[in-house]
Structure 1
Amino acid sequence: MAQPLFTLLSENEHGYSREEVDQFMARARAAYDSGRSMPLAEIREASFSMGPGGYNPAEVDAALDRLEDAFASAERDRYIAAHGEDAWYELLAERAEPLRRRLERPAGQRFREPDAGPAGYRKTEVDELAHRLEQYLDGENPMSVDEIRTVTFAAASGGSAYDEAQVDAFLDRMTEIMASVG
């Protein structure tokens, strides 16, 4: 069997399926080496079965973050080579505009509230991040894409919560913009 790409866990620990991770990484490498793109959302949404042994999830997750950054950088470089740097930043501003409009909404009203059953993210924490992101888009607050990738929010329900899926989708889009800036 080939050399493992990541640390293999013992059989009494749960890790990501080696076969699934290897297949995904092979597809990503082929796309990158050929100069083709791979949708950033496909990388971010990659998921693998868990089971005894397998790859260390933290290592694989970190590699996926680096992979997303590499594809975003390659996309940026190709676009700049074809259209120029000013055109690239205009495209990013265009992509960021719907995000900016959401960030400009009043605190407590940026996202929908969760349905009656499930809990969501605490509004005050999401709104604090939204304020920082608005400053980032205005060039007033340097942030790294990893701050968005690793952010966590306390659980809340009812009127003190935002819908998790909607916030997560927004943060995915923000991650794409930030990774594309470089």
Structure 2
Amino acid sequence: MTSPATPESPAPFPDAPRRTKGYEKRTVDDFLARAKDSFERPADESLTALDIRQVAFPLVRNGYAIASVDAALGRIEDAFAARERQSVVSRAGAREWVGRSKETAQVVLDRLSRPRGHRFDRVSVLRYGYRVDEVDLVSDKIAGYLEAGEPVTVEQVRSVAFRMQRGGYSETQVDAVLDAVVEVMLAVS
């Protein structure tokens, strides 16, 4: 787990390139310290893999390079997910863990099996949402992964980005499904 910089240690991440915003250093360092403390105490479940996946940092000049921080957060999320899996398996057994993962995967697959253009709620034509064609393309790939084991990595799902369009898909719904997919992928890895 990455630790925050101290006066005698180097910064944990490179700075964002000049004229490019990066993540606010203090906020990142504070969050990483909190994650480290939480992870080092096995009984502490105040921070979860989902919390790590959903953390957001302010963008500022002279911040940390976004890609470096995001890569570290991915590794930290993997560690928390493994700990959570182990906790459930030791308390309730492997069957319970597999059952939960299958249920989540089925809910996602049911959503993604809807017709193209109708998989998620749409925002009004006066608002911007995710581009429908791009989300449907990613949805098809994820459905292929869940149904037939077609190759898709956790990093591909974590890093997917969609352009915006008026009347597009609801960002909240799409993001929730992507989070569930990551959860399922981490559960079976």
Which range, TM-score by smaller chain?
A: 0.7 to 0.9
Give the conservation status (yes or no) of the 8 Å contact 1:99–1:174: yes
1:121-132 → structure 2 map (5 Å cutoff): 121-132=130-141
Q: Describe the shift of the 1:11–1:113 C-alpha distance in structure 2 as closer, same or farther (beyond 3 A).
A: closer
Taking the aligned partners of 1:13 and 1:157, their CA distance within structure 2 comes to 28
Taking the aligned partners of 1:56 and 1:152, their CA distance within structure 2 comes to 18
Q: Does 1:55 align with 2:55?
A: no
Tell me what 1:25 maps to.
32
Q: Describe the shift of the 1:64–1:54 C-alpha distance in structure 2 as closer, same or farther (beyond 3 A).
A: same
Q: Does 1:152 align with 2:161?
A: yes
Cα distance, 1:93 vs structure 2: 0.9
1:72-99 Cα distance to aligned partner (Å, 9 max, x none) = 1111122223333333211111223322
Cα distance, 1:151 vs structure 2: 1.6
Q: Secondary structure at the match of 1:6?
A: coil
Taking the aligned partners of 2:127 and 2:17, their CA distance within structure 1 comes to 35
Q: Secondary structure at the match of 2:60?
A: strand
Q: Secondary structure at the match of 1:156?
A: strand
Taking the aligned partners of 1:16 and 1:125, their CA distance within structure 2 comes to 27
Tell me what 1:118 maps to.
127
Give the conservation status (yes or no) of the 8 Å contact 2:52–2:73: yes
Q: Does 1:102 align with 2:108?
A: no
Cα distance, 1:175 vs structure 2: 1.7
1:1-182 → structure 2 map (5 Å cutoff): 1-3=7-9, 4-9=11-16, 13-35=20-42, 36-37=44-45, 38-158=47-167, 161-182=168-189
1:101-132 Cα distance to aligned partner (Å, 9 max, x none) = 21122222111111222222232222222222
Which stretch of the first structure deviates more once superposed, 60-69 or 114-123?
A: 114-123
Cα distance, 1:10 vs structure 2: 7.2
Identical-residue share of aligned pairs (%):
36
Give the conservation status (yes or no) of the 8 Å contact 1:69–1:180: no
Q: CA RMSD in A?
A: 2.2
TM-score by length of 1: 0.85
Cα distance, 1:173 vs structure 2: 2.0
Whichever residue aligns with residue 175 of structure 1, its letter is: V
Taking the aligned partners of 1:96 and 1:86, their CA distance within structure 2 comes to 15
TM-score by length of 2: 0.83
Q: Which runs of 5+ in 2 are unaligned?
A: 1-6
Cα distance, 1:40 vs structure 2: 2.4
Structure ranking higher on relative contact order (CA contacts 8 Å, 6+ apart): 1
Whichever residue aligns with residue 79 of structure 2, its letter is: A
1:28-71 Cα distance to aligned partner (Å, 9 max, x none) = 01111111332223212212223332322211111111111111
Aligned length: 180
